[in-house]
Structure 1
Amino acid sequence: MRLGVIADIHGNLPALEAVLAKLDALAPDLIVNLGDCASGPLWPVETVALLRSRVMSLVRGNHDRAMGAASLDGLGASDSYAWQALDPEARAWLAGLPAEITVEGALCFHACPGNDSTYLMEEVQNGYLVPSPIATIEQRLAGRTARLMLCGHSHQTRTVRLESGAIVLNPGSVGNPAYRDTDPAHVSESGMPHARFAIVTLGAEIAIQHHLVVYDWERSARRAEANGRADWAHALRTGTALP
């Protein structure tokens, strides 16, 4: 059994199209989408339409959950752009996705089990996301025992093996390779503009391939600039956050 694992598309349609084309060529048995599908100053409507046209298993990210808001009050710039662009039915579809699913024995969630906005495999040090110790990751998993656990949220491509032998994997972000966040203030940077996903082969042992995909990130950067988001444009071109 082979799983294609994607996460954190953030409305980046050209990146998603390139990743899906690569996945079609690799032909995994199933595709798992770990959430945060549309939020961002790019193509939320077209991205959601493409996702809904494909067969895949999905979980809800924190930004998908935000689409269930009754109004724009309290939403950030990226969520507000997507909320206004999407119709009520599409927003409800995103907000109604399950927070956690199990696919072929793999436990799938967006960030941490029971918390869609807390990092699982990273923590903030000196304003940057850095890898967390294995023991800390195990504490955050609160006794979950699946042999494979799949998460997104940090936009960091990362895989760890727990003391139990279980594997925890983040495929990285399809559509947003760097961002700056608050509370606490920090940046997440992949250092490259490529779209990312993973292929996981389930057998007696778990085999993993991480993929970086070239796509027209300049087109996406221009779209972000046209929508007044120089920070996104810089991230899309470089994989780094604006200073």
Structure 2
Amino acid sequence: MRLGVIADVHGNLPALEAVLASLAGLSVDAVVNLGDCASGPLWPAETVRLLRASKMSHVRGNHDRALDAASPEELGASDSFAWRDLDAEARGWLAALPFEIEIGKARCFHASPIDDETYLLDEIDSGRLVAARPQAVEALIGAAGHAVVLCGHSHQPRLLRLANGTVVVNPGSVGNPAYHATEPSIHVSESGAPHARFAVVTMTGAVAVEHHAVAYDWEHAARRAEANGRADWAHALRSGLVPTSR
């Protein structure tokens, strides 16, 4: 089985369109979306419509869950923008997505098996995300024995093979290549490039993983972010880095 893996679209419609076009030429049997579909100052409603129209499986991300709020007043800027752009039916669809699913030999969730905000393949070191120690990853996953574990959330393309043979993959972010976060402590995630990321995992015999970085019109996305008052997003979309002024 060849499985296309996407995550963390964050309302970036042109990036999603470019990724889906690339996947169409890669002979995948199925596609899974690991969540955080809409949050951000770009095209939340249009992105959700495309995701729902596409033949793929989905899990719920922490930002998808946040959009189930009764009002946008207590949400952060990115979630608040998406909440206002989406209608109640679309927000309900996001909130109702499953926490975890299995596809073939793959266990799929947004962040980690314990919750949708704990990094699995990453840890914070000196205010930056770095690759997590294998022992820490093993402790979070447990001994379920899946051939493949798929996660997103950190926006960092990662690949780790554990001692028991389990292959853990983060495809990186389709639509948001860098961000600044304050929880669980202040840190940044930077991919270092503006490309839209995804992965293809082949689960026939030995597990094979292909990480892809797709060019798209990120200048168009950056101008959209600027028009919606988010210069920080515009900088990240153009560079894959957070603004140095932070």
TM-score (norm 1): 0.99
Letter in 1 for 2:165: G
| Structure 2 partner of 1:58 | 58
Q: Secondary structure at the match of 1:197?
A: strand
Q: CA deviation at 1:143?
A: 2.9
Which residue of structure 2 lines up, in the alignment, with residue 226 of structure 1?
Answer: 227
1:239 aligns with 2:240: yes
Partner of 2:148: 148
- Aligned partner of 2:80 in structure 1 is 80
- Deviation, 1:71, is 1.2
- 2:112–2:119 contact (8 Å) kept in structure 1: yes
Instruction: Give the AA of the match of 1:212.
Output: A
Matched, 1:132 2:132: yes
Question: Aligned Cα RMSD in Å?
Answer: 0.7
Instruction: Give the CA deviation at 1:216.
Output: 0.1
Kindly tell me: are residues 70 and 131 of structure 1, through their superposed partners in 2, closer, same or farther at Cα, counting changes over 3 Å? same
> Following the alignment from structure 2 to structure 1, what is the Cα–Cα distance between the partners of residues 36 and 188?
18
- Compute the displacement of 1:141 (Å): 1.3
Structure 1 residues 73 and 143: CA distance shift in structure 2, 3 A? farther
Question: Any idea what the Cα deviations from partners look like across 1:185-238, whole Å, max 9, x if unmatched?
Answer: 000000000000011111110011110000000000000000000000000000
Offset of residue 142 of structure 1: 3.0
Structure 1 SS opposite 2:210: strand
Q: What is aligned with 2:189?
A: 188
Q: Which amino acid aligns with 2:5?
A: V
Identity %, equivalent residues: 63
Report the equivalent of 1:5: 5
> Aligned partners of 2:224, 2:31: CA distance in 1, in Å?
27
* Residue in 2 that maps onto 1:40: 40
Give the superposition deviation at 1:140. 1.4
- Which one-letter code corresponds to 2:178 in the other structure? A
What TM-score comes out, normalization by structure 2 length? Answer: 0.97
User: Which residue in the other structure is 1:215 paired with?
Assistant: 216
**1:44 maps to amino acid:** P
- Mapped to 2, the partners of 1:74 and 1:150 lie a distance apart of 31
Runs of at least 4 residues of structure 1 off by over 4 A?
none
Determine if contact 2:114/2:140 at 8 Å carries over to the other structure: no
Tell whether the 8 Å contact from 2:112 to 2:141 is kept in structure 1 after alignment. yes
Unaligned runs of 5+ in 2: none
- Paired AA for residue 54 in structure 1: S
Q: Distance in 2 between matches of 1:144 and 1:10?
A: 30
Structure 1, unpaired ranges of 5+: none
